[in-house]
Amino acid sequence: MLVCSKKILQIADKHGYAVGAFNTSNLEFTKAIIDAASELNAPVIIQTSEKAIRYAGLKEIATIIQTIAKQSKIPVSLHLDHGKSINMVRDCIKNGYTSIMLDASDLPFQQNIVMTKQAVKLAHPRVSVEAELGILAGVEDHVKGEKTIYTDPEQARKFVKLTKVDSLAIAIGTSHGAYKFKGKPKLDFKRLKEINEHVKIPLVLHGASSIPKQLVAQANRFGAKIKNAHGVPDSEIRKAVKLGIRKVNEDTDLRLAFTAAIRKYLKTKKSDFDHRSILQAATELIKKTVISRIKILGSANKA
Protein backbone atom coordinates (compact mmCIF):
# COMPACT_ATOMS: atom_id res chain seq x y z
CA MET A 1 0.00 0.00 0.00
CA LEU A 2 1.14 3.53 -0.75
CA VAL A 3 1.40 5.87 2.26
CA CYS A 4 3.25 9.05 3.22
CA SER A 5 6.60 8.94 5.01
CA LYS A 6 5.25 10.90 7.97
CA LYS A 7 3.01 8.02 9.00
CA ILE A 8 5.81 5.45 8.62
CA LEU A 9 8.37 7.52 10.53
CA GLN A 10 6.06 8.51 13.38
CA ILE A 11 5.49 4.83 14.14
CA ALA A 12 9.23 4.15 13.87
CA ASP A 13 9.91 7.03 16.28
CA LYS A 14 7.40 5.70 18.78
CA HIS A 15 8.94 2.22 18.77
CA GLY A 16 12.63 3.13 18.38
CA TYR A 17 13.69 1.74 15.01
CA ALA A 18 14.67 3.23 11.64
CA VAL A 19 13.17 2.76 8.18
CA GLY A 20 15.34 2.21 5.14
CA ALA A 21 14.97 4.72 2.30
CA PHE A 22 16.31 3.04 -0.83
CA ASN A 23 17.03 4.81 -4.12
CA THR A 24 15.76 3.47 -7.41
CA SER A 25 15.80 4.50 -11.06
CA ASN A 26 14.32 1.45 -12.81
CA LEU A 27 12.07 -1.60 -12.59
CA GLU A 28 14.73 -3.99 -11.30
CA PHE A 29 15.79 -1.87 -8.33
CA THR A 30 12.16 -1.16 -7.43
CA LYS A 31 11.13 -4.83 -7.50
CA ALA A 32 14.17 -5.85 -5.47
CA ILE A 33 13.48 -3.24 -2.77
CA ILE A 34 9.78 -3.98 -2.37
CA ASP A 35 10.29 -7.75 -2.58
CA ALA A 36 12.91 -7.54 0.18
CA ALA A 37 10.73 -5.40 2.42
CA SER A 38 7.71 -7.64 1.78
CA GLU A 39 9.70 -10.75 2.68
CA LEU A 40 10.68 -9.17 6.01
CA ASN A 41 7.27 -7.54 6.58
CA ALA A 42 8.97 -4.15 6.89
CA PRO A 43 7.81 -0.63 6.03
CA VAL A 44 9.95 0.93 3.33
CA ILE A 45 10.62 4.24 1.61
CA ILE A 46 11.52 4.19 -2.08
CA GLN A 47 13.11 7.37 -3.30
CA THR A 48 14.26 8.89 -6.56
CA SER A 49 16.85 11.60 -6.99
CA GLU A 50 16.50 14.32 -9.60
CA LYS A 51 19.13 12.53 -11.69
CA ALA A 52 17.12 9.31 -11.53
CA ILE A 53 14.03 11.23 -12.63
CA ARG A 54 15.91 12.67 -15.60
CA TYR A 55 17.15 9.19 -16.48
CA ALA A 56 13.84 7.32 -16.23
CA GLY A 57 11.24 10.05 -16.71
CA LEU A 58 9.09 11.36 -13.87
CA LYS A 59 5.78 9.80 -14.96
CA GLU A 60 7.48 6.56 -15.93
CA ILE A 61 9.38 5.92 -12.70
CA ALA A 62 6.46 7.13 -10.55
CA THR A 63 4.10 4.72 -12.34
CA ILE A 64 6.47 1.77 -11.87
CA ILE A 65 6.84 2.41 -8.14
CA GLN A 66 3.17 3.17 -7.54
CA THR A 67 2.01 0.06 -9.42
CA ILE A 68 4.23 -2.30 -7.44
CA ALA A 69 3.63 -0.50 -4.13
CA LYS A 70 -0.15 -0.63 -4.44
CA GLN A 71 0.02 -4.39 -4.97
CA SER A 72 2.08 -4.96 -1.84
CA LYS A 73 0.71 -5.44 1.68
CA ILE A 74 3.46 -3.44 3.39
CA PRO A 75 3.49 0.36 3.77
CA VAL A 76 5.51 1.95 0.95
CA SER A 77 6.27 5.66 0.59
CA LEU A 78 7.32 7.24 -2.72
CA HIS A 79 9.82 9.96 -1.85
CA LEU A 80 11.71 12.67 -3.76
CA ASP A 81 15.34 12.61 -2.61
CA HIS A 82 17.27 15.91 -2.57
CA GLY A 83 14.77 17.99 -4.52
CA LYS A 84 16.55 21.25 -5.28
CA SER A 85 13.69 23.38 -6.60
CA ILE A 86 10.07 24.19 -5.83
CA ASN A 87 9.17 23.25 -9.40
CA MET A 88 10.53 19.74 -8.89
CA VAL A 89 8.60 19.44 -5.64
CA ARG A 90 5.42 20.57 -7.38
CA ASP A 91 5.91 18.14 -10.29
CA CYS A 92 6.49 15.18 -7.98
CA ILE A 93 3.38 15.96 -5.94
CA LYS A 94 1.34 16.17 -9.15
CA ASN A 95 2.66 12.75 -10.17
CA GLY A 96 1.62 11.00 -6.99
CA TYR A 97 4.66 11.20 -4.72
CA THR A 98 3.60 10.78 -1.11
CA SER A 99 6.72 12.40 0.34
CA ILE A 100 9.25 14.98 -0.80
CA MET A 101 12.58 16.36 0.33
CA LEU A 102 13.34 20.00 -0.33
CA ASP A 103 17.11 20.33 0.01
CA ALA A 104 18.08 23.98 0.41
CA SER A 105 20.90 23.16 2.82
CA ASP A 106 23.47 24.90 0.61
CA LEU A 107 21.65 28.23 1.05
CA PRO A 108 22.00 30.60 4.02
CA PHE A 109 19.89 29.61 7.04
CA GLN A 110 17.10 32.15 6.49
CA GLN A 111 16.81 31.32 2.79
CA ASN A 112 16.63 27.64 3.65
CA ILE A 113 13.72 28.43 5.96
CA VAL A 114 11.89 30.50 3.33
CA MET A 115 12.26 27.88 0.59
CA THR A 116 11.35 25.00 2.89
CA LYS A 117 8.20 26.80 4.03
CA GLN A 118 7.16 27.10 0.37
CA ALA A 119 7.57 23.34 -0.05
CA VAL A 120 5.57 22.65 3.11
CA LYS A 121 2.76 24.90 1.91
CA LEU A 122 2.62 23.00 -1.39
CA ALA A 123 2.79 19.55 0.18
CA HIS A 124 0.75 19.60 3.38
CA PRO A 125 -1.37 17.94 4.52
CA ARG A 126 -1.37 15.04 2.03
CA VAL A 127 2.37 14.83 1.33
CA SER A 128 5.09 14.74 4.00
CA VAL A 129 8.16 16.98 3.83
CA GLU A 130 11.79 16.33 4.71
CA ALA A 131 14.36 19.14 4.83
CA GLU A 132 18.08 19.27 5.52
CA LEU A 133 20.17 21.39 7.85
CA GLY A 134 23.94 21.10 7.58
CA ILE A 135 25.98 19.80 4.64
CA LEU A 136 27.50 16.36 4.02
CA ALA A 137 30.87 16.05 2.33
CA GLY A 138 31.16 13.82 -0.74
CA VAL A 139 29.41 13.38 -4.08
CA GLU A 140 26.31 11.43 -5.07
CA ASP A 141 24.37 12.23 -8.25
CA HIS A 142 24.08 16.04 -8.37
CA VAL A 143 24.57 16.50 -4.61
CA LYS A 144 28.09 17.67 -3.76
CA GLY A 145 29.71 18.95 -0.59
CA GLU A 146 33.33 20.03 -0.24
CA LYS A 147 33.35 19.46 3.51
CA THR A 148 30.95 18.60 6.31
CA ILE A 149 29.10 21.47 7.96
CA TYR A 150 27.65 19.96 11.12
CA THR A 151 24.05 20.62 12.12
CA ASP A 152 23.67 23.02 15.03
CA PRO A 153 21.12 21.71 17.59
CA GLU A 154 19.67 25.14 18.41
CA GLN A 155 19.36 26.05 14.73
CA ALA A 156 17.62 22.71 14.18
CA ARG A 157 15.05 23.53 16.88
CA LYS A 158 14.36 26.94 15.37
CA PHE A 159 14.24 25.57 11.81
CA VAL A 160 11.68 22.88 12.64
CA LYS A 161 9.51 25.30 14.61
CA LEU A 162 9.41 27.84 11.76
CA THR A 163 9.06 25.47 8.79
CA LYS A 164 6.75 22.77 10.22
CA VAL A 165 8.65 20.04 8.36
CA ASP A 166 7.86 16.40 9.14
CA SER A 167 11.44 15.08 9.28
CA LEU A 168 14.92 16.59 9.29
CA ALA A 169 18.12 15.34 7.66
CA ILE A 170 21.16 16.22 9.75
CA ALA A 171 24.93 16.26 9.32
CA ILE A 172 26.82 14.42 12.06
CA GLY A 173 29.83 13.11 10.14
CA THR A 174 28.55 10.76 7.41
CA SER A 175 29.38 11.40 3.76
CA HIS A 176 27.75 10.88 0.37
CA GLY A 177 29.19 8.31 -2.04
CA ALA A 178 31.57 5.36 -1.72
CA TYR A 179 34.77 7.21 -0.96
CA LYS A 180 33.77 8.38 2.48
CA PHE A 181 36.61 8.17 4.94
CA LYS A 182 40.37 7.76 4.96
CA GLY A 183 40.07 5.96 8.30
CA LYS A 184 37.23 5.01 10.58
CA PRO A 185 34.18 7.29 10.46
CA LYS A 186 33.84 9.69 13.35
CA LEU A 187 30.14 10.24 13.86
CA ASP A 188 29.27 12.95 16.35
CA PHE A 189 26.87 11.03 18.59
CA LYS A 190 26.88 13.75 21.23
CA ARG A 191 25.58 16.18 18.61
CA LEU A 192 22.96 13.67 17.49
CA LYS A 193 21.74 13.26 21.06
CA GLU A 194 21.50 17.04 21.51
CA ILE A 195 19.60 17.49 18.24
CA ASN A 196 17.18 14.72 19.22
CA GLU A 197 16.55 16.52 22.52
CA HIS A 198 15.91 19.82 20.72
CA VAL A 199 13.80 18.47 17.85
CA LYS A 200 10.63 16.42 18.31
CA ILE A 201 10.31 15.06 14.78
CA PRO A 202 12.00 12.04 13.15
CA LEU A 203 15.66 12.55 12.22
CA VAL A 204 17.21 11.38 8.95
CA LEU A 205 20.72 10.10 8.22
CA HIS A 206 22.10 10.53 4.70
CA GLY A 207 25.42 9.13 3.49
CA ALA A 208 25.10 6.02 5.63
CA SER A 209 26.08 3.30 3.14
CA SER A 210 28.14 0.47 4.63
CA ILE A 211 30.14 -0.36 1.43
CA PRO A 212 30.19 -4.14 2.13
CA LYS A 213 33.64 -5.62 1.56
CA GLN A 214 32.20 -8.70 -0.12
CA LEU A 215 30.43 -6.61 -2.78
CA VAL A 216 33.57 -4.59 -3.50
CA ALA A 217 35.63 -7.80 -3.63
CA GLN A 218 33.20 -9.47 -6.05
CA ALA A 219 33.09 -6.45 -8.32
CA ASN A 220 36.88 -6.21 -8.35
CA ARG A 221 37.29 -9.95 -8.91
CA PHE A 222 35.38 -9.62 -12.15
CA GLY A 223 37.00 -6.52 -13.57
CA ALA A 224 36.08 -3.48 -11.49
CA LYS A 225 38.72 -1.23 -9.96
CA ILE A 226 37.10 0.05 -6.78
CA LYS A 227 39.76 1.16 -4.31
CA ASN A 228 39.80 2.97 -0.99
CA ALA A 229 36.01 2.81 -0.58
CA HIS A 230 34.93 2.90 3.06
CA GLY A 231 31.49 2.96 4.61
CA VAL A 232 29.80 3.37 7.97
CA PRO A 233 30.08 0.23 10.14
CA ASP A 234 26.83 -1.47 11.09
CA SER A 235 27.56 -0.88 14.77
CA GLU A 236 27.64 2.89 14.16
CA ILE A 237 24.30 2.77 12.34
CA ARG A 238 22.72 0.80 15.17
CA LYS A 239 24.01 3.34 17.69
CA ALA A 240 22.64 6.23 15.61
CA VAL A 241 19.23 4.53 15.53
CA LYS A 242 19.29 4.17 19.33
CA LEU A 243 19.99 7.90 19.59
CA GLY A 244 17.08 8.99 17.41
CA ILE A 245 17.72 8.38 13.70
CA ARG A 246 14.48 7.15 12.14
CA LYS A 247 15.17 7.21 8.36
CA VAL A 248 18.42 5.99 6.82
CA ASN A 249 19.18 6.62 3.15
CA GLU A 250 20.65 3.71 1.18
CA ASP A 251 21.94 4.09 -2.38
CA THR A 252 25.62 3.26 -2.87
CA ASP A 253 25.35 -0.28 -1.46
CA LEU A 254 22.61 -1.08 -3.98
CA ARG A 255 24.69 0.27 -6.85
CA LEU A 256 27.60 -1.89 -5.71
CA ALA A 257 25.34 -4.95 -5.60
CA PHE A 258 24.09 -4.25 -9.13
CA THR A 259 27.63 -3.78 -10.46
CA ALA A 260 29.03 -6.86 -8.69
CA ALA A 261 26.22 -9.11 -9.94
CA ILE A 262 26.35 -7.86 -13.54
CA ARG A 263 30.14 -8.19 -13.77
CA LYS A 264 30.08 -11.72 -12.35
CA TYR A 265 27.27 -12.87 -14.62
CA LEU A 266 28.84 -11.52 -17.80
CA LYS A 267 32.23 -12.97 -16.89
CA THR A 268 31.03 -16.44 -15.90
CA LYS A 269 28.20 -16.93 -18.43
CA LYS A 270 29.68 -15.55 -21.60
CA SER A 271 27.31 -17.38 -23.93
CA ASP A 272 24.16 -15.87 -22.38
CA PHE A 273 22.93 -12.72 -24.08
CA ASP A 274 19.42 -12.69 -22.61
CA HIS A 275 19.17 -9.33 -20.86
CA ARG A 276 16.44 -10.66 -18.58
CA SER A 277 18.74 -13.29 -17.10
CA ILE A 278 21.50 -10.73 -16.65
CA LEU A 279 19.24 -8.24 -14.90
CA GLN A 280 17.62 -10.95 -12.77
CA ALA A 281 21.01 -11.79 -11.29
CA ALA A 282 21.43 -8.13 -10.36
CA THR A 283 17.92 -7.95 -8.92
CA GLU A 284 18.57 -10.92 -6.65
CA LEU A 285 21.78 -9.45 -5.20
CA ILE A 286 20.15 -6.05 -4.68
CA LYS A 287 17.33 -7.79 -2.81
CA LYS A 288 19.82 -9.59 -0.53
CA THR A 289 21.53 -6.28 0.17
CA VAL A 290 18.24 -4.57 1.06
CA ILE A 291 17.30 -7.45 3.37
CA SER A 292 20.62 -7.05 5.18
CA ARG A 293 20.12 -3.30 5.64
CA ILE A 294 16.53 -3.64 6.89
CA LYS A 295 17.65 -6.09 9.58
CA ILE A 296 20.34 -3.69 10.76
CA LEU A 297 17.85 -0.82 11.03
CA GLY A 298 15.49 -2.91 13.14
CA SER A 299 12.40 -2.47 10.94
CA ALA A 300 11.81 -6.15 10.10
CA ASN A 301 8.32 -7.31 11.15
CA LYS A 302 7.26 -3.71 11.82
CA ALA A 303 4.86 -3.29 8.88
Burial 221-233 (b: 16+ CB within 10 A, else e): ebebebeebbbbe
Look up residue 303 and give its amino acid.
A
Catalytic annotation, pick one of 13, 35, 81, 152: 81
Strand 175-176's sheet: what is its strand order?
Answer: 143-145, 137-140, 175-176
CA distance 32 to 26: 10
Question: Taking a C-beta distance cutoff of 8 angstroms, is the pair 147, 180 a contact?
Answer: no
Provide the 3-class DSSP secondary structure of residue 279. Answer: helix
Contacts of 59 (CB under 8 A, 6+ apart): 95
DSSP codes joined into one string, 10-78: HHHHHHT--EEEEE-SSHHHHHHHHHHHHHTT--EEEEEEHHHHHHH-HHHHHHHHHHHHHHSSS-EEE
End-to-end CA distance of the chain: 11
Report whether 180 contacts 207 (CB < 8 A): yes
Is residue 103 annotated as part of the catalytic site, yes or no?
Answer: no
- On whether the CB atoms of residues 41 and 134 are closer than 8 A, the answer is no
Catalytic positions, written as ranges: 81
